[in-house]
Amino acid sequence: MSDGGLVPLLPLEEQDPWAVMNMRGLVYPDSETTVTQPIRAGLLKGAKSRTRRYAAYHDVTDVDIKTELAKWADVVNDGEGFSGQYKEGVIGFPLETREGDWWIDAWNRWQNSIEDPEKRSIVVYGHDARIGIQVGADTPEAARYTFGLDSGCVYGKSLTAMVIDEREDGKGLSHSIVQVDSIKEDEEKEG
C-alpha cells in the first residue's frame, strides 16, 4: 500500500518516504538532454518539500536547513540533466507532478519484465482523485501491477475499496473492487 507510489528497481526499504506519499511522475538522469521547465520546476519543488519535512521532524538550525536544501539541490543538479524519457535499468527520480514518465506505467513495465511471477509486486495506491479510480488493465498484453483506488470521495464521489480474499479453489488470492456512495454532510445531519 502506498499513498503516492513506489520507484521501480528500488527495494522497499530504500524507498524515499516523501516519494511514497507524494510522487506521480519519474524523471531519469540524462546528461545529454536539456531539461524542460515543468520538469525543472517539479524537481525543485520536491527538493523544497523534502527540506520542509526534514525541518518539521528534526531539531534543526537555519544552517542545517540550508545544508539539507543544498544537498537536494545537488541531487537534482538544479534541475539540469533529467529527462522524462524512460531509460531501461535506470532508477527514476520521483516528482510530485505528472511530468515525465508516469510512475504507474514504469512500475507495470518493470513488473511485467520480471520472469518469475512469484517475485512480482502489486502496489495499491491513492493520492490521485483528479485521475480517479484506476483498476482495469490498460493493455491486454501486459498485466497490471498497480491499482489506484482514489475515486474522489473527499469531493463527494464514491468511496472505493479493494477486497483481497483467498480464491475458492484455495490456490492463491483474488480481489474485487467495491464502491459505496459518499454521504453528503447535509444527509448526515438529517439522519
Residue 77 lies in a domain: yes
Kindly state whether residue 47 falls inside one of the protein's structural domains: yes
Is there a domain that residue 186 lies in? no
Tens digits of residue pLDDT in 97-115: 888 899 999 999 999 999 9
Instruction: Please count the structural domains in the chain.
Output: 1
Residue 68, pLDDT > 60, answer yes
23-34: pLDDT as tens digits: 899 988 887 877
Distances (CA, A) of 142 to 97, 106, 107, 114, 170: 25, 12, 12, 12, 25
Burial 68-89 (b: 16+ CB within 10 A, else e): bbeebbeebeebebbbbebeee
- Tell me if 183 is assigned to some domain: no
Average pLDDT over residues 180-184: 86
Residue 169 inside a domain? The answer is no
Q: Is residue 188 part of a domain?
A: no
Residue 64 is part of which domain span?
A: 15-120
- CA angle, 16 then 82 then 113, to 5°: 65
